[in-house]
Amino acid sequence: MILVVNFGGQYAHLITRRIRDLRVYAEILPYTKITLKMVREIRPDAIILSGGPSSVYELQAPKIGKWILSLGIPVLGICYGFQLIAAMMGGEVRRSKGEYGPTKVKILDRSGLFEGWDEEETVWMSHSDHVASPPQDVIVTAISENGYIAAFKHRSLPIYGVQFHPEVKHTYKGSILLDNFVKIAGSSRDWTENRMISLIKEYLKRELEECSSISSAVSGGVDSTVATFLVNQFAGDRLTSIFVNHGLLRKNEPEDVLNLLERTGINPIYIDASKEFLSALRGVKECEKKRKIIGELFVKVFSKSLKGRDFDCLVQGTLYPDVIESGGEIGADRIKSHHNVAGLPEWIKSKVKVIEPLRYLYKDEVRRLALHLGLSKEIVERHPFPGPGLAVRIIGEVTEEKLSIVREASAIVEKVLRKKGFYNKVWQAFASVGDDRWVGVKGDTRVDGYIVTVRIVESEDAMTADWYELPSDILEEISKRITSEIPQVTMVTYAITTKPPSTIEPC
């Protein structure tokens, strides 16, 4: 296996995922938990030091012992990890004007890590510090278009560093570089669906041992369905599944979800709590507050639905992007509170044990598992949907009018994409609405209508995302249908901002 040390970088777990894509098992641990004794016990084939938001010369900057460089196994530093290696070996790191986004680099040594690269390549940079003076015992292997050191390797030890992010797909040959590192490490390529399931089952067997009554919240999405399906193999009659309709679901979703789950062998208790959620959200405009209210009320409704039966374990289909965006990793900044991570109220955290069998998997791995387990393609291919539902696609207060608009507009977006054969080509597609207005004319009458923004993105893991360049005739059809079928809408816009700097969901 390969060990990834997390220094709080937004892409830290993406490194792990890229290594797993190469069929090599990778684990990630925060820098605060890494010790020499632990590493000797784990005996990884190699170690990767992730990026992070800090500067190595800051007093409280995350550090790791210099012993990491004398283990005799390959070590690769990425971005902050690259600068940290340079500083530990006597190099100098300074503040610079920085490099962000696509950047050209000149490869000076095309062996080792850069085997298979051309003399000039485009990589993804995201740094404000740079290695001003390299350590004495390294060879500079790449220079950026701005003259900064972009990579180096040690003259005699298997120690490497790159300033750019090979784990991000915008570094076009990043996977080749990581594959070269795997070859250098000599790792076995045995990370398969069977091994994933084996590890999850080991986790569940251990974690469920003391659970007397287990509850699972299912939404019909691939994450909660796979999590519940796997737990059910161990829990038997100890497991009670519940589907809560919080009134913030997509068009016809309650009926569709119940049918899908029934075909999968999951028969949840159905709770319609639409009125309770809409009442609780009345007058609330701030995004984080909406997420917190929904998370708290969800657990209350969920608990009440068990009709007084106590449960000591709660199953959730949490994935890693949820964890990292909720600031669940040491050193990571909180971007959003997800209802199934940071959105859980303290009273439930102290009362029950949360079981998250998919916590360190990415969406594509879960989808592969679902197909491997024999679940239907309808479940596997459904677009991701946020736990707080359409509430986070409404900017400002959640009103019945705006809820109806965003529900109908999103349904139109999905219908057109399915009809034109684009639904399965994109990661997510939906509409959002806020309080902004645009004057329009309908039937020769002046209308003060809403602005609907359509968001369609392509992604591999939700950690980064690109807006999808949909053909203009399809965009035109979506716009015409929304403005003609939804009387309150007079303008349709298309979101063309990537993640980062934007997030996928507007709220």
**Tens digits of residue pLDDT in 365-381:** 899 999 999 998 888 88
* Cα separation, 406 vs 454, whole angstroms: 10
pTM of the complete model: 0.73
Q: Which is nearest to 238 in space by CA: 246, 228, 248? A: 228
Contacts of 216 (CB under 8 A, 6+ apart): 224, 227, 228, 231, 239, 240, 241, 242, 314, 315, 316
Q: What CATH number was assigned to the domain covering residues 2-185?
A: 3.40.50.880
Q: Tell me, which fold does domain 399-494 have in CATH?
A: GMP Synthetase; Chain A, domain 3 (3.30.300)
> pLDDT (tens digit, 9 = 90+) per residue, 18-62?
999 999 989 888 899 899 999 999 999 999 999 999 999 998 899
Beta strands 466-467; 445-458: pairing state: antiparallel
Helix (H) or strand (E) holding 93: strand 92-107
Catalogue the E-assigned strands of 197-238.
214-217
List, for residues 408-428, the tens digit of each pLDDT value. 999 999 999 999 999 999 999
264: helix, coil or strand? helix
Query: Annotated catalytic, 246?
Result: no
Q: Is 165 a catalytic residue?
A: yes
What pLDDT sits at residue 347?
Answer: 58
Catalytic residue among 99, 167, 296, 505: 167
SS (H, E, C) 367-411: HHHHHHCCCCHHHHCCCCCCCCHHHHHECCCCCHHHHHHHHHHHH
* pLDDT value, residue 415: 97
Does the annotation count 313 as an active-site position? no
Q: Which two tokens stand for residue 478?
A: 């979506």
The CATH number of 193-380 is which of 3.30.565.10, 3.40.50.620, 3.30.70.3270, 3.40.190.10?
A: 3.40.50.620
- Structure-derived torsion over alpha carbons of residues 335, 341, 343, 346, reported in degrees to the nearest 10: -130
What sign does the dihedral 303-304-305-308 (CA atoms) show?
A: positive
Which element (helix H / strand E) includes 322? helix 320-325
**Domain residue ranges of the chain, discontinuous segments joined by +:** 2-185, 193-380, 399-494
* Options 13, 165, 338, 339, the catalytic residue: 165
Q: Judge whether 2-185 and 193-380 match in fold.
A: yes
End-to-end CA distance of the chain: 38
Tens digit of pLDDT at every position of the chain (507 positions): 999 999 988 788 789 989 999 999 898 888 998 999 999 999 999 999 999 999 999 988 999 999 999 999 999 999 999 999 999 999 999 998 889 899 999 999 999 999 999 999 999 999 999 999 999 999 999 999 999 999 999 999 999 999 999 998 889 999 999 999 999 999 999 999 998 899 899 999 999 988 998 989 898 889 999 999 999 888 878 999 999 999 999 999 999 999 988 888 888 999 999 999 999 999 999 999 999 999 889 888 887 877 666 788 889 888 866 665 555 444 444 434 444 443 455 656 567 888 999 987 888 889 999 999 999 888 888 898 988 999 999 999 999 999 999 999 999 999 999 999 999 999 999 999 999 999 999 888 898 999 999 999 998 777 778 999 999 999 999 999 999 999 999 999 999 999 878 999 998
